[in-house]
Amino acid sequence: MSKEITSMAADYSQWYNDLVIKAGLADYSAVRGCMVIKPYGYALWENMQRQLDKMFKETGHENAYFPLFVPKSLFEAEEKNAEGFAKECAIVTHYRLKNDVDHPGKLIVDPEAKLEEELVVRPTSEAIIWNTYKGWIQSYRDLPLLINQWANVVRWEMRTRLFLRTTEFLWQEGHTAHSTEQEAMDETVQMLEVYASFAEEFMAMPVIKGIKTENERFAGAVETYCIEALMQDGKALQAGTSHFLGQNFAKAFDVKFTDKENKIDFVWSTSWGVSTRLIGALVMAHSDDQGLVLPPKLAPIQVVIVPIFKGAEQKELIDQKVKVLVAELKTAGITVKYDDSDNNRPGWKFAEYEMKGVPVRIAIGARDLANNVVEVARRDTKEKMSFSIDGLGAQVINLLNQIQSDIYTKAKNFRDERITEANTWDEFVELLDKKPGFISAHWDGTGETEEKIKEQTKATIRCIPLNNSQQEGACILTGKPSSQRVLFARAY
């Protein structure tokens, strides 16, 4: 089985697909637009989940689980939300199959088992959750309600890409209820900060925090906050969103509470989510033509040890030493794999673990043993070095920290170099092709102009950065007055 992948330069999109498949992250499935997340990809997701879940709990949230199905009448209740998702919903209409009398062994949908009310497979859970919250919230004492759900959702996408856009995907969705507008807004911003910290500290992926324009806002939200990352082809990727929902869902589902002064008001709310899309972002943020480059903090295997030997006697000596080293590394909290399988030669293994993005590879041979050293290779820079066997754990921890920090810096430099100001339409159009990245440009603030720019260039406004500096200017397309630059990019 060849492990060659298309190079980034030759075809970025094919490089990505090849990499996801060859590194064993995911596979295509028999279901249109759905993927199989393979064990290595799922281990990455588990590491992401564990960290995010910890951060959600540290900020006071609890997990719960709400039904997969949303009755159509509930789905309709918040009109904008319904309108936004109606065109991409999987609908359950029947609850039974029966034998096809004309084709023995085959089944058909039983027309007698038609549901009175169709069920929408959740594309997002605001409707089912707010219908539930109605029963849970009466007084300010019931607030805030800070709940998160880990779940699968379905959006019937026309064009799908492994991890980046799949019909079914895994995600978490936080849904909180508050007694004041300010508290809900604070929660919205807090969760944006959680996402940004996770992206930067764990994924080693720099992000820009900002606000979406009305056109790009979540259906049903008053304001959508987002984190935007830049991929190595210069395209942007929305990595997480946090929505201030105002009282929209409380009004749609009639969720009111009595405050301390005995006044009755609608509840304020937020929702926020990240998904398995983050795996796609992670792949594209750091990897190269040899395969994945994973940040040590999320890598399913942080260190792989490969023995180099001739004959059973050398192998035996190496095994003995490695046993001690593995124990030492595990004690230091490092996830380590000793690959002494005899199916493949060391060179094959080196390539395999490069493909899988294992941050540190340790090779150990008989001569190394004699010299009390091991050969250490970094996945990110491919630099090789020699470490003393004494105190290996501490040296490896330092190296892992260094790698985590270096790949962040590399990605940040790359991203920062690709935030460019454009001051004329021609400049804007030229930059999009010649120097893809974020383009900082003035915009007249209207949805019409935004839509025209999108039609003509495929670039969208990724966000209005938080704490954006205010400056007078003229819209890149219409020349109308503008008070600030916004970030445009072509995006995933």
For 366-426, strand residue ranges (E) read: 373-378, 384-388, 419-421
Shortest spacing between CB 2 and its own copies, in angstroms: 15
Answer for which of 91, 324, 327, 385 binds its own copies (CB under 8 A) is: 91
What does the DSSP 8-state code read for residue 112? G
What does the DSSP 8-state code read for residue 468? P
Closest-CA residue to 334 (of 290, 301, 383, 288): 301
Residues 365-404 as x/- pattern, contact with its own copies by CB under 8 A:
----------------------------------------
The 10 Å CB-count burial string (b at 16+, else e) for 417-444 is: ebebebeebeebbebbeeebbbbbbbbb
Residue whose CB is less far from its own copies, 138 or 290? 138
Answer for which of 13, 14, 54, 94 binds its own copies (CB under 8 A) is: 94
Shortest spacing between CB 331 and its own copies, in angstroms: 18
Stretch that binds its own copies, among 3-11, 91-99, 313-321, 362-370 (CB under 8 A): 91-99
User: CA 333 to CA 268: how far, in whole Å?
Assistant: 42
Q: Which of residues 8-27 bind its own copies (CB under 8 A)?
A: 27
Stretch that binds its own copies, among 82-90, 327-335, 416-424, 426-434 (CB under 8 A): 82-90
Beta bridge partner(s), residue 109:
97
Q: Which of residues 422-451 bind its own copies (CB under 8 A)?
A: none
User: CA 171 to CA 278: how far, in whole Å?
Assistant: 10
Answer for which of 90, 317, 326, 419 binds its own copies (CB under 8 A) is: 90
- DSSP 3-state of 215: helix
Residue whose CB is less far from its own copies, 148 or 482? 148
Residues 327-366 as x/- pattern, contact with its own copies by CB under 8 A:
----------------x-----------------------
388: exposed, middle or buried (Cβ count in 10 Å: 0-12, 13-18, 19+): exposed
Stretch that binds its own copies, among 5-13, 106-114, 357-365, 444-452 (CB under 8 A): 106-114
Closest-CA residue to 431 (of 418, 442, 443): 418
Residues 111-150 as x/- pattern, contact with its own copies by CB under 8 A:
-------xxxx------x--xx--xx----x-----x---
- In the chain, the amino acid numbered 338 is Y
Q: Which of residues 60-79 bind its own copies (CB under 8 A)?
A: 62-72, 74-76, 79
Beta bridge partner(s), residue 377:
361, 384
Cβ atoms of 302 and 212 closer than 8 Å: no
Residue whose CB is less far from its own copies, 98 or 480? 98
The 10 Å CB-count burial string (b at 16+, else e) for 228-257 is: bbbbbebbbbbbbbbbbbbbbbbebbebeb
Shortest spacing between CB 71 and its own copies, in angstroms: 6
Answer for which of 11, 13, 92, 330 binds its own copies (CB under 8 A) is: 92
User: CA 275 to CA 481: how far, in whole Å?
Assistant: 38
170 binds its own copies (CB under 8 A): yes
Contact set with its own copies (CB under 8 A): 27, 29-31, 34-39, 41-43, 45-46, 62-72, 74-76, 79, 82, 86-99, 105-107, 109, 118-121, 128, 131-132, 135-136, 141, 147, 151-152, 154, 156, 168, 170, 343
